[in-house]
Amino acid sequence: MTEFQEYGFHGANLSRIAQRAGIAKGTIYLYYDSKEALFLAAVGKHVVSIMGESEAQVDVPGGTTKELLIHFLRGMYNRFVDSEAQAVFRILIAEGDRMPEVMRDYHAMTVQRGTTLLSKILERGVARGEVRPGSVVRMPHVLMAPTVFFAVHDMMFKNVKPVDFDSFFEAHIDMLMNGCLID
Amino acid sequence: MTEFQEYGFHGANLSRIAQRAGIAKGTIYLYYDSKEALFLAAVGKHVVSIMGESEAQVDVPGGTTKELLIHFLRGMYNRFVDSEAQAVFRILIAEGDRMPEVMRDYHAMTVQRGTTLLSKILERGVARGEVRPGSVVRMPHVLMAPTVFFAVHDMMFKNVKPVDFDSFFEAHIDMLMNGCLID
Amino acid sequence: MTEFQEYGFHGANLSRIAQRAGIAKGTIYLYYDSKEALFLAAVGKHVVSIMGESEAQVDVPGGTTKELLIHFLRGMYNRFVDSEAQAVFRILIAEGDRMPEVMRDYHAMTVQRGTTLLSKILERGVARGEVRPGSVVRMPHVLMAPTVFFAVHDMMFKNVKPVDFDSFFEAHIDMLMNGCLID
Amino acid sequence: MTEFQEYGFHGANLSRIAQRAGIAKGTIYLYYDSKEALFLAAVGKHVVSIMGESEAQVDVPGGTTKELLIHFLRGMYNRFVDSEAQAVFRILIAEGDRMPEVMRDYHAMTVQRGTTLLSKILERGVARGEVRPGSVVRMPHVLMAPTVFFAVHDMMFKNVKPVDFDSFFEAHIDMLMNGCLID
DNA sequence: CATGAATGAGAATTCATTCAT
DNA sequence: TATGAATGAATTCTCATTCAT
C-alpha cells in the first residue's frame, strides 16, 4: 500500500515492493497473478480493515444528540487522520476507476455507513425535539462534509498551510449547532 | 491534461499525448525538457486558467450576507462541477507531492482565496448584524467544506450512488443558516 | 516426453512436468541434476523403448524377397504411425543438436538397423536371382525413404492435406518392384 | 531465422536477434508487435522466398521423361541442401502447429507444387509410352520421398554418419527407373 | 521548426533451481 | 525421500528521450 500510495499504480515498482516486504520479486507471483491483482488485493484488504474499525465506531453510547454527534464526528476525524486511511482515500481518488467493486465497498463503509448512522442520530434527535427537522436531516452528508474536507486539505496542503484541527473541529460543531446566520 | 488525468503521471504516454495534440513525439521536446516539465507546465497552466475564472467570481455584487454566501458558494460548486477542474483536483491529490510550488499556487487560488473572500463576507455580515460571530467566522473553511465534499463524492462515487445536487445545495445552505440543532 | 514434445526443450515447464507426473517440482531434482539431464534421460529412454520394439521387427520370417520387403516396410510404417515414435522423431529433429550421443543411438537403431536389414534381404535376393544388383542394393536408404517421407508428411500436413496410407504404401511397393520407367 | 532455427521459438532470444541484426532490442517492436509476430513474419517471408526460387524450377525444358525427372529431382535436392531451406523445414516440423496458414502455404509450394509437376511429367511420359502407368503415377509423392529423406537424414545425422549425395542420387534415379526387383 | 525512427534503460513476469522442513 | 515456498537471473516488452534528416 505504501508503495502504491506514494507512486500510484503505474508508478509503483514491484522490485521496490518486494524489497520493502523483505521478499524476492518472484515471490509476489506465488500469491498474486499480476501487479493489478496485487494492487486490488492490497486496496481491498485495507478497505476491509477500515471497515472493521468503523464497525466498532458505529456502536455509539447514549447521550444527547449533540454529544452523539460530537462523538461520532470525532471518530470520523480520527479515522481520517490515520495515514493508512488517507493512503487508501488518496489512491481511491486517483485510481478508483479501475476497481468499481472496491469503490462500492468503500462507499458502503464510509459514506453509506456514515450517513445511515447520522440519519439515525438525527431522527432520534427530531423525535426528542433536539433536532430541527429539514433538509439537513434528509441529507446528512453535509454534516460529515467537513471531515472529508479536513482530510483532503491535510493530504494536499499539510506542507503549504496546515489547518489547526482543534479550531476546525470547534467550528464544525459550532456550525452544525447553530449555523452562522442570525435570522 | 486529459492524458495525465486519465492515466496519472507515470501512466501517461508521450506518444499518445503527441497524437492527441496532432504533433510528433519529438516536437514535445522542442518545448519541454522532459515529461515532468510538460506535466508541471500542463498542470500549472490549468491551475492558472482556473484562477482566471475564479478571479471573475470574486467580484461579487452587493446584497444580504445570505445572498452573497449563496452566490459565492454556488459559484464554487459550478467550478467544481466542471470536469477540467475536477481533473486538476484529482491529479493534484494524486501527484501533488511532486510539485510543491504548484500546490502553493493551487492553495492560494482555491482555499486561500475562498476563505479570504468568505471572511470578508462574514465580517461584513457581523458588522451588519447578520452573522453570529464565533468560531465559524474565524474558520470559514467549514462553510466551503460541503463544496469540496460534493466534488470528491462526485469524482469517486458518481457511478456508485450519485448525490442530487439541488438537495445537497439546499441542505448546505440550510445548515449554514441555522445549523441543525435547537438550543 | 509429452511435455517436451508439445513445447520443445525451452518451452517445457518443470512445474507442469511434475504435475503431470503427480510429484512435486523439487522431487525431480532428486533424480535428475537439471532440466537438460531430465530431457536427455526422457528422450534416451524413449529411444531405447523404440529400439526394443524394433528388435522384435528385425526377426523376419522366410519368404520371397518381395514378401520380406513388404513385411519389413509395413513394420516401419507401423512404427512411424505411432504417436510416441513421431514425438521422439519430431523432438530429435528439433533438438537433436544438443544430444549427439542420443542421435548416435537413434541412428543406430533406425537408419543403421534398417539399412543393415534391408541389405541382408537384398543381398539374399540378389543371390536368389530375385533382386537386380546395382546402386539401390548398395544404398538401400532409398527403399526406406518413403516411410520417412510419410511420417514427416503426416506430422506436418495431417491437417492440411493428409495422404492416404494404403495408396501410398501400394505406390511405394510398386515403385520398388519395377520403378516407373519403361526401358 | 537463424536464431529461431538454432533455438526454436521458445529458446530464441530477442536480445540476441537484435544483436545479430545490428539493431537495438526496442527497434524490433517498431516493426513487430511481439516475438510471435516476428517469428511468423520471419518464417512466412522465408517460405515465400523459397516459393520464388521454386517458381523458376517449375519451368522445365523439353527432353525425355527420364531427363526431365532427373532435372527436376536434382533441383529439389539442391533446394533442400540449402541451409536456409533446411532451417525453415526444421522449424516447421518443430513449431508448425502454431501457424496453420504458413503450413498451408508451405505445403502448397513444396509437396503440392512438386507432386503437381511430377504428375504432369509422368502423364506426358505415359502418353509418350515412356512411363509405365500405375499407382506410382497416381501417387508421385513416393518419387520425391528420397529427397525429403535425404534432407532429414542430413539435418539429423550429418555428424553421425553422413550419406554420400552422389551415390544416393544415383540410387534414387536407379530405383525410379527400374525398381530393384526382377519379375 | 518539425519529424519519427532508433535507442536502451527499466519494468513486469517466468521459471529452473535450491533448501528448510 | 519428498515437498513446495522462495529465489533471482533471464526474458519479453514499454516508453521517455535523442538525433539525423
Q: Which of A113, A47, A25 is nearest to A75 (CA)?
A: A113
pLDDT profile of chain D (183 residues), mean per 10: 87 93 94 92 82 54 84 90 85 86 89 92 90 92 96 94 96 86 62
Distance CA B44, CA C166 (A): 80
- What sections of D22-162 are H helices per DSSP? 25-31, 35-58, 65-81, 83-95, 100-107, 113-128, 135-138, 141-157
Cell of D18: 537484435
D180 — phi, psi (to 5°)? -120, -5
**pLDDT class for A54, splitting at 50, 70, 90?**
low
**pLDDT class for A60, splitting at 50, 70, 90?**
low
**Which residues 6+ apart lie within 8 Å of D79 measured at CB?**
D50, D53, D54, D57, D85
B65-92: pLDDT as tens digits: 989 999 999 999 998 888 888 888 988 9
Mean pLDDT of all residues in B127-143? 92
pLDDT at B102: 87
Mean pLDDT of all residues in C108-133? 91
What is the distance of C-alpha A25 from the center of its chain?
A: 32
DSSP states along A75-133:
HHHHHHHSHHHHHHHHHHHHHGGG-HHHHHHHHIIIIIHHHHHHHHHHHHHHHHT-B--
Burial of B155 (0-12, 13-18, 19+ CB in 10 A): buried
Residues 43-82 of B with CB under 8 A from A: 65-66
Residue pair A92/A103 in contact by the 8 Å Cβ criterion = yes
Residue pair D117/D58 in contact by the 8 Å Cβ criterion = yes
The more confidently predicted of residues B136 and D47 is: B136
- D168 chain-C contacts, CB cut-off 8 A: 139, 141-142
pLDDT at D81: 85
Does A143 sit within 8 Å of B181, measured CB to CB? Answer: no
How many Cβ atoms are within 10 Å of A167's Cβ, its own excluded?
14
Residue pair D49/D82 in contact by the 8 Å Cβ criterion = no
Nearest residue on chain A to B154, alpha-carbon basis = A93
How many Cβ atoms are within 10 Å of A154's Cβ, its own excluded?
18
**Which residues 6+ apart lie within 8 Å of A126 measured at CB?**
A132, A133, A137
pLDDT at A52: 58
Does C93 sit within 8 Å of D157, measured CB to CB? Answer: no
Rounded to 5 degrees, what angle do the CA atoms B134, B139, B141 make?
135
Strand E contacted by C14 CB (< 7 A): yes
Distance CA B176, CA B160 (A): 28
- What sections of chain B are H helices per DSSP? 2-11, 14-21, 25-31, 35-58, 65-81, 83-95, 100-107, 113-128, 135-138, 141-157, 165-178
**C157-166 burial string, b = 16+ CB within 10 Å, else e?**
beebeebeee
Collapsed DSSP state (helix, strand, coil) of residue D181 = strand
Distance CA A176, CA B6 (A): 37
Residues 123-182 of B with CB under 8 A from A: 125, 129-132, 134-139, 141-146, 148-150, 152-153, 155-157, 159-161, 163, 167-168, 170-172, 174-182
D105-137: pLDDT as tens digits: 899 988 999 999 999 999 999 999 899 889 999
Answer whether 0.75 is exceeded by the pTM.
yes
Q: Which of A50-54, C72-76, C152-156 has the lowest mean pLDDT?
A: A50-54
Nearest to B180 among A137, A144, A160 (CB): A137
**Looking at the predicted structure, is the pLDDT value of residue B183 above 80?**
no
Q: How large is the angle between the packed helices A35-58 and A113-128, nearest 10 degrees?
A: 20
Distance from CA of A73 to the nearest CA of B (A): 14
Q: How large is the angle between the packed helices C65-81 and C35-58, nearest 10 degrees?
A: 150
